[in-house]
Every structure is written in structure tokens, then in C-alpha cells.
Amino acid sequence: EHNRSIEKYFSSIGENASEIGRSKADIKKDFLHKLFYHLGRVPALTTDNDLYTALALTVRDRALRQFVRSTEQFAEKDARGVAYFSAEFLPGPHLGNNLLNLEIMEETRQALAELDLDLDHILEQEVEPGLGNGGLGRLASCYMNSMATLGIPAIGYGIRYEFGIFKQEIREGWQSEATDKWLHYGNPWEVMRPEISYEVKFGGRTEAGTSKEGKYFVEWHPESVIKGTAYDTPILGYQSNGIIMRLWKAEAVESFDFSIYNMGDYYRAVEKKLRSENITKVLYPNDENLSGKELRLKQQYFFVSCSLQDMIHLHLLQGRRLNEFHEKFSVQLNDTHPSIAVAELMRLLLDEHDMEWDDAWHITSHTFAYTNHTLLPEALEKWSISLLGRILPRHLELIYEINSRFLEELREKGLNGEQIARMSLIDDHGEQAVRMAHLATVGSYKVNGVSALHSRLLKTQVLNDFAKLWPEKFTNVTNGVAHRRFLALSNPRLASLITEKIGDQWLTDLTSFRELEKYAGDPAFQQQWRKVKLENKKELCKLLAERAGVEVDPAMLFDVQVKRIHEYKRQHLKVLHIIDLYLRIKDGKGEDIAASAFIFAGKAAPGYFMAKLIIRLITAVADLINNDEEVNRKLKVVFLPNFNVKQAQRVYPAADLSEQISMAGKEASGTGNMKFALNGALTIGTLDGANVEIMEEVGEENFFLFGQTTEEVQETKRKGYRPYEFYEENSNIRRVLDFLVSGALGEGDPELFRPLFNNLVQQDQYQLLKDFRSYCEKKEEVFKLWANESEWDRRSILNVARMGKFSSDRSIRDYCENIWNVEPVRLRD
């Protein structure tokens, strides 16, 4: 039953844009209203957080208007939509990005200035939602922005973790972890939807039966039930659309938990309630061994079940039939984290909506598409049969049934026993476990990798058997980045220099950067270009002094590696090279070395010893070099603690050199590589992940390529790699490695870095020593080029000019065409 007056009011908001105004006067008025009525503040007691919250609420009103308008128009067109299922989202600070997308940055700045307030200071107050580990979560958020910009009817589904990725502190050179209390001061961006909630069952047992009509059915008698409640955050696209990120929070179900207890058991009931809420308490840091982590499996199932129930609810609400579900929705599985969705949709269709197996399977296997984000064997998810059976007994039955039908199909096709065992959803080696990547692949209509190289390796190696069976199922979508956030917002100086030159159509079409090419050799433009970079570097210097206590000369070459700390990413390769330079300078042979600031940032998984030792190595080398008068005018080393989106936005614009030095074949794509190049850094990198395509675009002559190819890496391994030979035969390598265990680093304890030393000379799984010489030689080229300012600038300009491909707008168009079969909906404002 519609309320006509409300409806009339809503459409007036839509028609009359001034209803929620974009003018300075409107913003000022609304901001003061929020401060007074929403926060109830006496002027004398107003805190910075009040100012931030009042401004955020002012902007949220405008964001919600865009969302409501977009949703109405999507509904009007009855458009096919996308649900992006992701256990992680890393949106970064919302305020600045929303001001940019609403095109009210300047008006807001002026409105605040009239109140003697500084927008930048208010922007600084925002605590970002760290609901992801790194690249995968950030990618999901870049895609949200691009889907909104392009007018894709989309919704992002995930988990509202109370504590996001831990806060990293450096204590005596070591990483220490503190809880991330991002909700401590409230979260003005979300809208809680208490009426949008679903029940999710766990544990217990199943019971099969036959109905009066003779129909076989299964009932699940759970041990516990938990309620998921929706929290919506509007995510804006550029200039008009808004979509929502819907995150689920776990709560106790009143009836289930309380009614069965009598008063005497009240406290036990409260305890049970608290236990229910645990499910969405904390994000798991990746890279750790997650198998056996019961709570993690519960998180995955919890958010997937809420999301699918929500979609079915919306679908039926619109008067549609369930058997056309897959025609109305495509669900993108962001890695295997949400892949239990395959079994859950089957369960919902079979057990709750009375469907037959074949119909349910048709719908399910035409709904999902799966993106793989890693080939690292230790990161491929498996859940043991015993755990899965205990937490999700019905799903285990369904997985067995899916598997037995699938294996039967393989047998009919004539595959042999070995092939069948390899492809089975169940791994029989050691403790029986479900291979989630296999479940996702069998249950999806498309499977993609995240760069050309990675998609090829996915097809020829990890999922080779499946690619042979269903070649048309496999495709590639190379990652991209939200260039509006990572250039327009975070590098305003460069953005306006570019806009002055070529206009601002790049905001919606990054390929128009090509027009910059013709200015690459222009000395006047180069000088402006250089000046922008220098200003950005000066700002980063302030941050480095403040957060790391290191003074850096902005004239130095800023050589930067920021990303999660992991052996395959080889931060220690860069460190070995720094030690080599240090020893050269000490020998009085450092004339050719460019004055460089080596900047690192990134978190190590709390349980990953080697990664933490690498951080300790960086801080030890920093201490040694920064305090050595003989060296520190030439070299500085900085570890910037607690890398997150906010800091990233200050780092990329200030980098001269981007380090993308993983062992070839290990980095699925990388997205930092794109953000650096977009901001004018040159790249030193291996032929790994999207580096390959970046180099293709910018030209080999504008890229510092080094190291083995994927094939060469595999050949080295096949022939029996013996890193010790490099230690014995290459005096440089020996000198640097011996230095690690000489007692010169750390607290003078020669044993501190022994595990790293041993690892490198004995296994060196990521072939650092093999690539070391090639890396050092490339660095010599870097130093030489750095001495030639105008040539450096020319290449920097060319790099930016050729980044068009790496906008996430392009990635989303690829998803629409190759996978989703979804048309953008052109929206009226």
C-alpha cells in the first residue's frame, strides 16, 4: 500500500535537484543543521569529529538521493543486475571521494571557509573502513565505483566486520598488531536496515522424508540460528549514479535464544547472544593457514546465505518467478571466499522453494561466475569434510550430490580414474576436504583470472583439467583501478595540470590520456610535470617525518614498494640491493649511485614469521643507514607503518620508481603497479601479473624490465635450483648475505636474521638469488636515467599517457561483455 503524499514528495526530490542543493549556501545551511539538530552540539564544545560527522551526514543525504534515483530507474527499466559477492571491501575514506563524485568539492570548501573551517582538516578526521586485506578488497571497491559510474544495476554484498584489518605499529623494529576500532566514533555513512534481516542456520542434523504427495524432501534441524541485519552504504559513481554496498551484521535471534530459557537461565541466554554476534566481529588477515578456522567458514556462509535470501526476496517481491532468477541476476564470486553460495542456492531452491534438482542446478550454474585471484597453492581454500559436515551438514550432502553427478559426467566422457580424482570436488589426500575452487568452477558459467598471464596460467596449470573440459567457460578480465580516486582525488596537482592541457573528459574516459603523448618532449610541460611531483614529494616527506621519524630530502629518487609483505613479492630482494649499495658507498665506490629514498610500507599476516622478519630487516637496515653520516646523504630507508587506502593516496603521487618485483608467475595481477604508473612513476618489474600488460602499453623502452620469465622460473626449478651456488660463486651476493648474519644489523645479534639467510641459501623458493644480478643491473640503468631529468620526465609523461587500459571502467565493461551480459542503464539526473 503506497502512501501517495510520500510518493509525490519523493518524485519532487528527483525532479527538482535543488531540493538537495549543490550550492555553497545549501551545503552550509545543511551542515549547520546537522551540527545542531543531528548532533545537538553547543558551539563551544564542538569537536573535530562532530564537524566531520556533520559534513559526512550532509554529503550522505546527497549520496542517498543519487542511490534512490538510480534504484527507481533501474526498476523502471526492469534491468538485469549484478550482485558482487565479496568477503572484503576496502572503500577507503568516503568523504573526499563522494565530494568528487558529486562535483561539490569546491562549493563545500568555500562553504566551510565561510565558517572559518578547513575542509582538508575535516577530511583528515575520517577513519577508513579497513574491511579487507589488500588488493582483492580494494579491487572490489574500485569495481563498485566503476559499476556506479557506468550505470550497472549492481549491489555489493559483504560482511560488516566490527574490527577490520589490524592496525600495524612498529615497536623496536617489529610489527605489532592492535585492533582496528573503526566504528569507535560512529559511522555516518551507513544506514541500518533493521527490517531487512534473515535467519541463518548452523549445525545440527538433517532428516529426509517423503511428503503425502510422494515427494522426497530433506529437513535441516539446526543447532543454532543467527540473524543477519543489513547495513547499507551508498557508493557513488562519477556525476550521477549511486549503488549500495550491503554489509551483514550478525545478531542473536530473539525467539530462538530467549524463549526456550526460563528466567533462571537468563545469563546463559545473554552469553549465547554474545556468541552469535561473534560471527562478524573480526576480519581474518590472509596468508595465514585458515583451514580449520571454524569462525571463518561461518562468516563465509553467513554472508552468502543472507545475500542469496535477500536476492530471492527482492526477486519474488517484484512479482517474478524463481525459475528466471538467473536471467535477472548474475552473481560474481570474488575468489572462493563466497563459493559456498553454490551449495546454498541449491539448498534454498530445493528445500525452501520445492524445486526439482535439474531445474535448481540449471539456475544455480547459470547464476554464478567465479574470479580466481591467486595461484599460490597455500591460498587455495579447502574445508575439511569433518568441519563442513559439523557446521553445514545439509551443504555437505549437497556437495556430495553435485560431485557424484559431476564425476559421472566425466566418466561418461571417458576420462580416466586419475583425471577424475584430480577434478573431484573432494580431495582424498590426507584429511578429506572440499576444494572450494572446484566447487566454484563446477557451479559457475564463467571463470576468470585477473590478468592475461594469470588467466593463461589458470587454464594451463591450476584449473587445466576444467579448461580442457569446458574451454568456453574460461576468460580473462584484467584488473583496473578507480582512476578518479587514485588520480583526480589523490593527486589534484597532476589532475589539474593534465586537465589544463587536454580537458577533463579523462574523468570518464581514461584513454583520452593518449593526447598527452604529444607533450612528452615539451621542455616547458616537463618542467611543470616535475614541479608537481616535487610538491607531492614534499608532502609525503611530512608524513614520513611524522609517522616514521625519518627526514627525507624531496630531491632524492623516491623508490617505493608498498603492498602486503610476502616472500613471493620479494621485498627482501630490494633490501639486499640496498645493502649492496651501502657496502659500495662504504668502500668509497658509490659515485654512480643516485641519491635515493627507499620507501616501504605494508602489513604482514600476524602468524607469518618470515614476513615479520622481513619488516624487522627493513627497520634494521633503515636504522643503520639513516644514522650513518657517511651514507645518509646518499641513501635513506623508511618503513611507513600502517599502510592503508588513506596512506596509499599520499604515497602513489609522490613516487618516482615503482617496485613490482615478484617472482614471475606468482602475482596474479597487482593493482598498485597501475596506481603508481598512473601517477607518473616508472616501473622496475618482472614479467608478472599485469606488469606484462603495463609494459605492453607503455612500451618496453619506458619500463625497467628484469628477471626470469614464468617459463624460466619453472625451468630453473625443474633443473633443480641450488641457490647455494650463487652464494659461492657471486662475491656480491656472498658479501650481502654474510652481512645479514654479521651482527651489524639489529641489536648486534648475528642470529637475528639467520632464518632469512638460511632460507635464501638453502631453498630460496622465490629465486631471489637467481634474479639478483639482473635486478642490480637494471638499477644501474635507473640511476643513469635519473641523472637525465628531461628524459626521465618524458618517460614519466608517456607512462601516464598510456594508462588508459587500466581504469576499472574498462574492467567493468569487460565483465559486462564477457561475463554478465548486462547493459549499462543510462540514467537521467
- DSSP-H helix ranges across 414-463: 417-423, 436-442, 452-457
Catalytic residue of the set 34, 675, 778, 802: 675
- Span near ligand CR1 by CB under 6 A; candidates 234-242, 371-379, 458-466, 593-601: 371-379
Catalytic residue of the set 62, 69, 249, 373: 373
Q: What angle do CA 273, 277, 283 make, to 5 degrees?
A: 160
**Least CB distance from residue 371 to ligand CR1, whole Å?**
7
**Least CB distance from residue 374 to ligand CR1, whole Å?**
4
Give the number of C-alpha atoms closer than 13 A to the C-alpha of residue 783, restricted to the C-beta side.
17
* Between 381 and 771, CB nearer to ligand CR1: 381
Rule CB under 6 A: choose which of 79, 269, 379, 785 binds ligand CR1. Answer: 379
* Between 285 and 389, CB nearer to ligand CR1: 285
Residue 513 grid coordinates: 590520456
Binders of ligand CR1 among residues 276 to 295 (CB under 6 A) are 286
Show the binding pattern over residues 656-675: x = contacts ligand CR1 (CB under 6 A), - = does not.
-----------xxxxx----
* Between 593 and 668, CB nearer to ligand CR1: 668
Catalytic residue of the set 94, 337, 563, 616: 563
* Between 373 and 802, CB nearer to ligand CR1: 373
* Between 65 and 566, CB nearer to ligand CR1: 566
Q: CB atoms < 10 A from the CB of 286, how many?
A: 21
Catalytic residue of the set 80, 246, 454, 564: 564
* Between 286 and 571, CB nearer to ligand CR1: 286
Catalytic residue of the set 160, 569, 603, 794: 569
* Between 373 and 395, CB nearer to ligand CR1: 373
**Which H or E element spans position 116?**
none
Q: CB atoms < 10 A from the CB of 160, how many?
A: 25
Place of cell 554464478: 368
* Between 330 and 478, CB nearer to ligand CR1: 478
Q: What is the DSSP string of 469-536?
A: H-GGGEEE----B-HIIIIIIT-HHHHHHHHHHH-SGGGT-GGGGGGGGGGTT-HHHHHHHHHHHHHH
Binders of ligand CR1 among residues 475 to 514 (CB under 6 A) are 479
Residue 264 grid coordinates: 533462571
**Which H or E element spans position 156?**
strand 154-159
Task: Please give the Cα distance from 25 to 32 (Å, whole number).
Answer: 11
Question: Applying CB under 6 A, does 688 fall inside the site for ligand CR1?
Answer: no
Show the binding pattern over residues 108-137: x = contacts ligand CR1 (CB under 6 A), - = does not.
---------------------------xx-
* Between 183 and 380, CB nearer to ligand CR1: 380
Place of cell 616547458: 524
**3-state secondary structure (DSSP) of residue 169:** strand
Task: Please give the Cα distance from 380 to 291 (Å, whole number).
Answer: 10
Give the number of C-alpha atoms closer than 13 A to the C-alpha of residue 629, restricted to the C-beta side.
0
Task: Please give the Cα distance from 108 to 779 (Å, whole number).
Answer: 45
Establish whether 564 is a catalytic residue: yes
**Which H or E element spans position 188?**
none
Torsion region of 703: left, alpha or beta (phi above 0 gives left; psi -120 to 50 gives alpha): beta
* Between 463 and 593, CB nearer to ligand CR1: 463
Q: Which residue is nearest to ligand CR1 (CB)?
A: 135
Q: Does the CA dihedral 317-321-327-332 come out positive or negative?
A: positive
Contact in structure between 409 and 332 (CB atoms under 8 Å): no
Establish whether 569 is a catalytic residue: yes
Residue 826 grid coordinates: 543510462
Rule CB under 6 A: choose which of 374, 478, 683, 708 binds ligand CR1. Answer: 374
- The total number of residues written for the chain in this structure: 829
- Span near ligand CR1 by CB under 6 A; candidates 290-298, 308-316, 373-381, 573-581: 373-381
Rule CB under 6 A: choose which of 96, 641, 689, 707 binds ligand CR1. Answer: 689
Contact in structure between 145 and 484 (CB atoms under 8 Å): yes
**Least CB distance from residue 822 to ligand CR1, whole Å?**
20
| Total chain residues near ligand CR1 (CB under 6 A) | 16
Question: Applying CB under 6 A, does 140 fall inside the site for ligand CR1?
Answer: no
**Least CB distance from residue 337 to ligand CR1, whole Å?**
8
- Among candidate residues 672, 644, 600, 759, the one with its CA nearest the CA of residue 128: 644
Task: Please give the Cα distance from 257 to 225 (Å, whole number).
Answer: 8
**Least CB distance from residue 666 to ligand CR1, whole Å?**
8
* Between 308 and 668, CB nearer to ligand CR1: 668
Give the number of C-alpha atoms closer than 13 A to the C-alpha of residue 272, restricted to the C-beta side.
20
* Between 104 and 664, CB nearer to ligand CR1: 664
Q: Where are the beta strands (DSSP E) in 501-660?
A: 557-562, 596-601, 635-639, 657-660
Residue partners of 117: CB distance under 8 A and separation at least 6 = 51
- Among candidate residues 576, 505, 521, the one with its CA nearest the CA of residue 779: 576
**Least CB distance from residue 525 to ligand CR1, whole Å?**
32
**Least CB distance from residue 677 to ligand CR1, whole Å?**
14
Residue 84 grid coordinates: 558482487
Residue 212 grid coordinates: 503425502
Question: Applying CB under 6 A, does 567 fall inside the site for ligand CR1?
Answer: no
Burial class (CB in 10 A: 0-12, 13-18, 19+), 747: exposed
Torsion region of 767: left, alpha or beta (phi above 0 gives left; psi -120 to 50 gives alpha): left
Task: Please give the Cα distance from 447 to 472 (Å, whole number).
Answer: 9
User: Buried (b) or exposed (e) across 6-16, using 16+ Cβ within 10 A?
Assistant: eeeeeeeebee
**Least CB distance from residue 634 to ligand CR1, whole Å?**
33
Rule CB under 6 A: choose which of 27, 57, 90, 139 binds ligand CR1. Answer: 139
Give the number of C-alpha atoms closer than 13 A to the C-alpha of residue 791, restricted to the C-beta side.
11
Establish whether 671 is a catalytic residue: yes
Rule CB under 6 A: choose which of 298, 373, 438, 537 binds ligand CR1. Answer: 373
**Least CB distance from residue 331 to ligand CR1, whole Å?**
18
- Span near ligand CR1 by CB under 6 A; candidates 174-182, 341-349, 372-380, 650-658: 372-380
Place of cell 535441516: 220
Establish whether 563 is a catalytic residue: yes
**Least CB distance from residue 491 to ligand CR1, whole Å?**
21
* Between 119 and 375, CB nearer to ligand CR1: 375
**Which H or E element spans position 104?**
none
**Least CB distance from residue 509 to ligand CR1, whole Å?**
23
Rule CB under 6 A: choose which of 27, 387, 450, 605 binds ligand CR1. Answer: 450
**Least CB distance from residue 694 to ligand CR1, whole Å?**
12
Task: Please give the Cα distance from 8 to 230 (Å, whole number).
Answer: 27
Binders of ligand CR1 among residues 334 to 363 (CB under 6 A) are 335
**Least CB distance from residue 138 to ligand CR1, whole Å?**
8
**Residues forming the site for ligand CR1 (CB under 6 A):** 135-136, 139, 286, 335, 373-374, 379, 450, 479, 667-671, 689
Tell me the catalytic residues: 373, 563-564, 569, 671, 675
